[in-house]
Copies of this chain bind each other. A is one copy, B any other.
Amino acid sequence: MCHADAMSANDSICVLGLGLIGGSLLRAAVTAGRAGFGYNRSGGTVAAARAAGYDADSDLSAVLTRAASENSLIVIATPVTALDSILDAVAHYAPGCALTDVISVKTVVNQAISAHGLSGRYVGGHPMAGTAESGWTATDPKLFTDAIWAVTTDDDADPAVWQMISALALDVGSMVVPIATDDHDRAVAAISHLPHLTAAVTAAVGGGEGALALRLAAGSFRDGTRVAGTPVPLQRAMLESNRPALLTVLSDTIDRLTRARDDLRDAGSVQVVTDDGHRARRRYETMATGEPDPIVGVEIGAPGWTGDLRHQAHLGRVWRG
């Protein structure tokens, strides 16, 4: 219902940045039948996208002028470090377009959007999908199938824009999790950014033991350190832009490991840490393998709609339109 509403009139998207996420989104949206075109700074990426049959250009002002004339939904898929220059251009060439992003932190994006006077047409997004690979060559139109797509749902959200962003996520096969900006950043610090740091440290300690130790490495090391292989600039952009939330969960992690070390040293036991981890992992597996319950009974734009969505999302439910 809302899906059809959001698709009415115009389903064109303009993707800024055609790396793994942005490129996959352009491919997925076009595959889903939408009109779509994209921008990338690198001529090589533009050439690769064009060779694959997509409408791409490295002229940002031309792309944004076209987005304004077609009233496209603009999706920012650049690294967070490029955000200010991108928003300068958006504010200049296409200030009236609905606007979202796929960047993995939301507070800093919100602040930048606000500083550029674009808050009224903006609702943030964050597809929880990705690999340790990057760039157009890694793009996959099925990247978002059955993925979770966080959509910021603060009290000042424009219902029409919220529906456009959610409809895009649903169109490419994802499920929407409505979430407040600060809740999002705290959650991804815990379940995405922290795992990058623990993977990095686990890899470094193992690597410090030399070739013999790495030769013995099997499943626990392979899986536990996988994301340490993500290009360092991508990791830094993501983690460093979520500093306050990441510091909180990182301190919690250090405290837990220190207690584990003390228990092992003083009592020879790792019971508490393995029990806590096992219980959390089982809870995650139950959620990840089951079909999520849908959010029900919320009319987008009705009084209290943002709070109602957030309340149900806190129970683990997802928006399916």
A229-260 vs B, CB cutoff 8 Å, 1 = contact: the mask equals: 11110011001100100110111111011101
Complex partner residue of A205 from B190, B229, B279, B292, CB under 8 angstroms? B190
* Given known A218-B130, A240-B264, contact A201–B273 (CB-CB < 8 A): yes
| Assembly stoichiometry (copies) | 2
Complex partner residue of A209 from B130, B187, B205, B206, CB under 8 angstroms? B187
Docked-complex contact B206 and A278, CB < 8 angstroms: no
Does A156 sit within 8 A of B, measured CB to CB? Answer: no
Determine chain A's interface SS by DSSP, over half rule: helix
Residues of B within 8 A of A264 (CB): 239-240, 243, 246-247, 250
In the complex, the chain B residue whose C-beta lies closest to that of A261 is: B250
Residues of B within 8 A of A315 (CB): 211
CB distance from A161 to the nearest CB of B (A): 21
Residues of B within 8 A of A273 (CB): 197, 200-201, 204
Q: With A and B bound together, what is the CA distance between A147 and B222 in angstroms? A: 13
Residues of B within 8 A of A249 (CB): 205
Binds B, one of A11-19, A44-52, A72-80, A280-288: A280-288
CB distance from A204 to the nearest CB of B (A): 4
Residues of B within 8 A of A184 (CB): 216
CB distance from A292 to the nearest CB of B (A): 7
Does A214 sit within 8 A of B, measured CB to CB? Answer: yes
* Given known A204-B273, A235-B270, A257-B197, contact A129–B211 (CB-CB < 8 A): no
Docked-complex contact B288 and A232, CB < 8 angstroms: no
Does A148 sit within 8 A of B, measured CB to CB? Answer: yes
A205-235 vs B, CB cutoff 8 Å, 1 = contact: the mask equals: 1111111111111111111111111111001
Q: With A and B bound together, what is the CA distance between A145 and B249 in angstroms? A: 39
Docked-complex contact A212 and B179, CB < 8 angstroms: yes
A176-208 vs B, CB cutoff 8 Å, 1 = contact: the mask equals: 010100011011101110111111111111111
Can you name 30 A-B residue pairings with CB atoms under 8 Å? A188-B216, A190-B205, A190-B209, A192-B220, A192-B221, A194-B202, A195-B220, A198-B199, A203-B276, A203-B277, A204-B256, A204-B276, A210-B314, A214-B288, A215-B318, A217-B288, A219-B227, A222-B288, A224-B227, A225-B280, A225-B281, A229-B285, A232-B275, A235-B274, A239-B274, A240-B268, A243-B268, A247-B265, A250-B264, A254-B254
